[in-house]
Structure 1
Amino acid sequence: MYKYTLLAVVSFSFIFVGAVDIKFKTQRVIVFKDGYCLVVKKGSATSNDKGEIISYDVPQSAVLGSLWATAKEADITSLNAEWREVTKTEEKDFTCTEYVEILEVNKGKKCKIVMNDKTKYEGRIHRVLLSKSVSNLSQNVFNTQNSQATISSISGSYFVLRTETGDMLLPVSQIRSLFVRNMITTIKRKIETKERRKQLTFHFAQANKKHNITLMYFTPGMRWIPSYRIDLQPKNIAAISLQAEIINENEDLLDVPMDIVVGVPNFRFRDTVSPLSLENTLRNVLRNSQRQNRTNSFSNAAVSLQQINAYSAPQRSQQSGNVTLPSELTAKGSQDLFVYKLPKLTIRKGGRAAVHIFTAKVKYRDIYTWKAAIKHNLSYSSKNRTQLEFSENKIWHEIELLNNTELPWTTGAAMIMQGQQPLAQELLTYTSSGSKVRVPVTIAVDIQGTVNEKETKRQPRDLKWDGYHYVKVNNQAKLDVCNNKRGAIDIEIIFAFGGKATQASDDGNVTLHAYNSRDWNNYRGSSAVNNSTTVKWKKTIKAGESFMPQVDYFYYIRH
């Protein structure tokens, strides 16, 4: 087995006789958050005598119905996609590693030879008695998964040395040393490559004419993830910055303009591969890994973007939130999707990049929220009594941001800072221009909330439904929120329970809902007889004071 040292790299650029190979260059990539992207490529070439232009740049995993090719000068009459068997033969220089190779490439030269028995000879290398063979090349050196390459090699046991006294037949294996003036040390080997390759053939009505072709297709392999930094500053000002973290598993992108899109486009056949890709299944590592996520937190698929119709970036002003965009960055929106236009980027396949999108100063306010809930734990004993289970007593400190910029905020991870002090990392949800969004910061340990519940009245056989008698139970719930902070706080309380409220103090806003199984344990009876209720209070509580609203309500339980 010979060891080959490669001095030059084989190029797999195959061109059929009479065919013109067009080279496409990526002009723009539009990246969505769900692991898909829209690729736009352009190239130019002159058609052959048959009006054909060939490309070996066949898109992988293009989505059904999304692969389109257009030409500027004339219509493409048809487009063929097929597999082709291609054979190429070429010679490359390799370093000689055996005496027989050195003798062969230096034929005709004078030499001095010392044999193993120390016998010395002088003469001219006249002939090398050779045998030729071919062997397979390692797949990871020259050929790919769809190709096979072979390389020629030589071997021999004897050579003829022409001396002054005549020709001598000497064994190659007995050579101890060989001296040749200006010795050649490389040998040409023949490499034959057979490859099965994809091919696109563009057909035109006219032959021998130059055409500029645009190729566009929707494909998996790229996504972007929004990431926010929110810096809380004095006077209730927050500096919010957005950067896009881009993942590229599609192709090498070299100095390519890129757009990133807020929102998810509606591609009905995104899971079906185009026949023109010559593949059976989509290759979508990014989308598959996203499906394994517990919740698709960063997707805007369920968010209505109707507020973002055709958008043209107006002039920014102090009143619009002081949005700071680099001069090479612009933003525009269309078709209910919002587009951030990025500068030219270089991201190779498998690479990652973080790109700054904007920085803005917006107004915010601190607000405290308490979502209290009780669950009726029914015990069907002789007295038919109920017990109550309370939700966790956690009052959250949140910040409410006003998007007074001209740009929407897409859903993304948000790091909340105050100077150099990190406060929290949470999820900032989609917020259109002019809207407000709340981001949780931390649990407020110096604000306590409690719920006290008591039964005030019980009326047996008050209701008959579907052949059963129901007991009407009247309850009264008292909530108590104590502010132990040094300053006043704005708090929002949402109290949820099973039953129907009859009265709520302190201007509580009552909302009735249909029966909810989360309000009950061991419920037995018809869901039609009980509502689910939420009561909402908004209150400012001064330092050291308490807020104690109460609710009267009733519910039914079956005998």
Structure 2
Amino acid sequence: MKLAPLALLLASSMLPPSARADLERLPVVELTAFKDGHALVRREGTAPLNGGVALVDGLPEPVFGTFWPYAKGEGVELKSAVAGYQAVTVNRTPLSAEEILTAAVGTQIIVHESRGEEDVSYAATIVGRPTRSAEEQDRNDRDPAAGGGQPTLPVRGPTILLKTDQGVRVVPIGSITEFTLVGDAPKTIEEQVVKTGLKLRVTAPEPDGEAAVGLSYVQKGFKWVPQYKISLGEDGQAKVVLQAALVNDLIDLEDATVRLVVGVPTFAFAGQTDPISLQVAYDQVNQARRLNALSDFTTDGLMLSNAVQTQMRSSGPRGGERPEAPAPEMAGGARAEDLFVYTLEHVTLAKGERMTVTVKEFEAPYEDRYEALLPLVPPRELLSDDNERRRVGSLVAASTVRHSVVLTNVSDAPFTTAPALLYRDGQILAQSLMTYAAPGGTAEVNLGSAVEVSVDLEESITGRKAEPNLRGMDRFERIALRGSIEITNRRPEATTIRLTKLVPGEVDSATHPAKDQTAERRELGPADIAGLPDSAVNLSRYGVPNWWVSLNPTTEVVWELTVPPGETVEVSYQWHYFWRW
């Protein structure tokens, strides 16, 4: 067997017994997932104690202030948790010739050694590799004033000790061209590596026995993405299916309980990493420490918003083949203060994997809603050229009747904000957005434009009247106008439409085709205007003068109209505004 370039590896035979303690990897027993990518992780297991100390593998990177270790059991109490670097022993398969020689201590071999111009073969028994222990290096080389840091690892020399009939030979490993093992080749090699971990110091009835220990912390990297499928029935009932997509970029789960939270979480220190993580920067901790005004979570711009995320990178699963995991089981849902929590049992999902699972199926009554919002048409005095007139014409022409469905939430769980696919009779209608609705509330889901219902608008000036002294100002005119709107229904059934027209001025009258109904008129305040689309209500782009707002309100006229199939209904309105010359 020929030797490749050799690395310095650490053999277990030369390591002190104290280096052989492994770190206990605590499994995840419960994980609470939020839609913004944060997760409350609870890891728990039984760890061996060595003088009341449990060594735990897997140092997390928690959100500042969310790391809480614990121990439980009769007479068991956690005293402290120390994060640091630990020298631990791992078992690996030897791959190189040097690794095989290092792991085969006590094995007889036939060595082929290069000595200048000749190759020499002889039988020998592997004694070991000369190694400087960590204790020796610390005693001789480390500066006591330097403090802690990563633990020292033993260093192996470039030679191997071989026992022959003449004695123990010290052979440079690089001079061994090949060798033959007399017997079976070693299957594993023990190496010492440095890992980050936790020392949990506990008081227990048996300090060298076992103890149940655990970690609880919030960390970013696991989220759930809700998705809805809504099937509209002919009887006014919709079948709603809530599906959860689980995105795991945090930690392996095996037979764990996963809780899915509906609601907006509050993590005041979401942008800060807890000091227990060895990767946290000192200045970052210092900044967090200076946040003494906890009532204002925007101090220094350090607090991050909890916006819902819907995309995250994907990395492949680690390790080899795993046995097929059972499907997760839905275990119901419950309210927790302002949040609602769904519970999934028996979830197995490796880091880097994704999963979809049905969370809830229920029925909800719904009704179709048709609405049209016709924007403000700016006064012609503000339209200085043909380009602006064409822009206004395009804005009016783009006004269409919007079709949506209004779902009433009669279930015990809220609707959450999520993408929704809508079907009718097995045919997909649209993808839209489900909005939040508490039990008993309603959510409106947009289906798009109702192409079979059209709206046509006409407006014209009907008169001008001079106002020589309007509120102590001169050179004003009162300009009167009339508008008409035609709604044509080409659908095979009667359609009820809510029609809204925004008017720049004061509305004097509005007609309604139904004798027992009237149009609603009201002047809009700043809060009303803020809730409307900017393109429908904004006149500032046309250079409206400062005095305009004080004399001319923005008025809304609303009609509820039922248009028979194949017919056209017309409504009209009159209004005026004041203009200064």
Per the normalisation by structure 2, the TM-score is 0.69
Q: How does 1:232-271 map to 2 (within 5 A)?
A: 232-271=232-271
Asked if structure 1 preserves the Cα contact closer than 8 Å seen for 2:87 and 2:193, the reply is yes
Superposed displacement of residue 381, structure 1? 9.5
**Match 1:485 to one of 467, 487, 491:** 491
The corresponding residue for 1:429 is: 435
Hey, what's the Cα distance between the residues in 2 that align with 1:153 and 1:189?
Answer: 21
Aligned pairs, how many? 496
Hey, what's the Cα distance between the residues in 1 that align with 2:506 and 2:163?
Answer: 108
1:280 partner letter:
V
2:568 partner letter:
S
Which structure shows the higher helix fraction? 2
Change (3 A) 1:94 1:533: same
Q: For structure 2, which runs of at least 5 residues remain unmatched after alignment?
A: 133-149, 167-172, 285-303, 312-327, 513-517, 530-536
The corresponding residue for 1:277 is: 277
Q: How does 1:119-518 map to 2 (within 5 A)?
A: 125=123, 183-184=182-183, 186=185, 193-195=192-194, 197-202=196-201, 204=203, 208=207, 211-280=211-280, 328-376=330-378, 379=381, 389=393, 390-391=395-396, 392-461=398-467, 464=470, 470-506=476-512, 507-514=518-525, 518=538
Hey, what's the Cα distance between the residues in 1 that align with 2:104 and 2:493?
Answer: 96
- Aligned to 1:528, the other structure's residue is in SS state helix
Change (3 A) 1:148 1:534: farther
Hey, what's the Cα distance between the residues in 2 that align with 1:80 and 1:177?
Answer: 49
Hey, what's the Cα distance between the residues in 2 that align with 1:101 and 1:42?
Answer: 37
- Aligned to 1:376, the other structure's residue is in SS state coil
Superposed displacement of residue 480, structure 1? 1.0
Asked if structure 1 preserves the Cα contact closer than 8 Å seen for 2:409 and 2:440, the reply is yes
Per the normalisation by structure 1, the TM-score is 0.71
Q: For structure 1, which runs of at least 5 residues remain unmatched after alignment?
A: 135-145, 163-171, 283-290, 300-325
81-90 or 331-340: bigger deviation: 81-90
537-546 or 201-210: bigger deviation: 201-210
Hey, what's the Cα distance between the residues in 1 that align with 2:100 and 2:34?
Answer: 61
- Aligned to 1:396, the other structure's residue is in SS state strand
2:543 partner letter:
N
Which structure shows the higher strand fraction? 1
Superposed displacement of residue 481, structure 1? 0.4
Hey, what's the Cα distance between the residues in 2 that align with 1:127 and 1:75?
Answer: 50
Change (3 A) 1:462 1:346: farther
1:195 partner letter:
V
Hey, what's the Cα distance between the residues in 2 that align with 1:280 and 1:175?
Answer: 46
Deviations along 1:171-226, one digit per CA (max 9) or x if unpaired, are x9999999x7x834747998654525243434549882865444322221111111
Change (3 A) 1:15 1:254: farther
Hey, what's the Cα distance between the residues in 2 that align with 1:101 and 1:216?
Answer: 41
Asked if structure 1 preserves the Cα contact closer than 8 Å seen for 2:100 and 2:186, the reply is no
**Match 1:25 to one of 15, 18, 27:** 27
- Aligned to 2:375, the other structure's residue is in SS state strand
Change (3 A) 1:21 1:402: same
Of all paired residues, the percent bearing the same amino acid is 21
**Match 1:524 to one of 545, 550, 559:** 545
Hey, what's the Cα distance between the residues in 1 that align with 2:69 and 2:82?
Answer: 12
RMSD: 5.2
- Aligned to 1:375, the other structure's residue is in SS state coil
Hey, what's the Cα distance between the residues in 2 that align with 1:15 and 1:377?
Answer: 91
Change (3 A) 1:9 1:544: farther
The corresponding residue for 1:548 is: 570
Change (3 A) 1:407 1:463: farther
Superposed displacement of residue 432, structure 1? 2.0
Asked if structure 1 preserves the Cα contact closer than 8 Å seen for 2:504 and 2:552, the reply is yes
The corresponding residue for 2:45 is: 43
Asked if structure 2 preserves the Cα contact closer than 8 Å seen for 1:410 and 1:429, the reply is yes
Superposed displacement of residue 267, structure 1? 2.1
- Aligned to 2:492, the other structure's residue is in SS state coil
Hey, what's the Cα distance between the residues in 2 that align with 1:100 and 1:69?
Answer: 43
Deviations along 1:302-353, one digit per CA (max 9) or x if unpaired, are xxxxxxxxxxxxxxxxxxxxxxxx9843111120111111222111111111
Hey, what's the Cα distance between the residues in 1 that align with 2:357 and 2:66?
Answer: 28
Asked if structure 2 preserves the Cα contact closer than 8 Å seen for 1:245 and 1:354, the reply is yes
- Aligned to 1:65, the other structure's residue is in SS state coil
2:522 partner letter:
T
Hey, what's the Cα distance between the residues in 2 that align with 1:297 and 1:20?
Answer: 38
Deviations along 1:373-418, one digit per CA (max 9) or x if unpaired, are 1330554699xxx966543131122222222222221111111122
Asked if structure 2 preserves the Cα contact closer than 8 Å seen for 1:454 and 1:476, the reply is yes
- Aligned to 2:410, the other structure's residue is in SS state coil
Change (3 A) 1:334 1:99: closer
452-461 or 343-352: bigger deviation: 452-461
Change (3 A) 1:130 1:544: closer
Asked if structure 2 preserves the Cα contact closer than 8 Å seen for 1:151 and 1:192, the reply is no
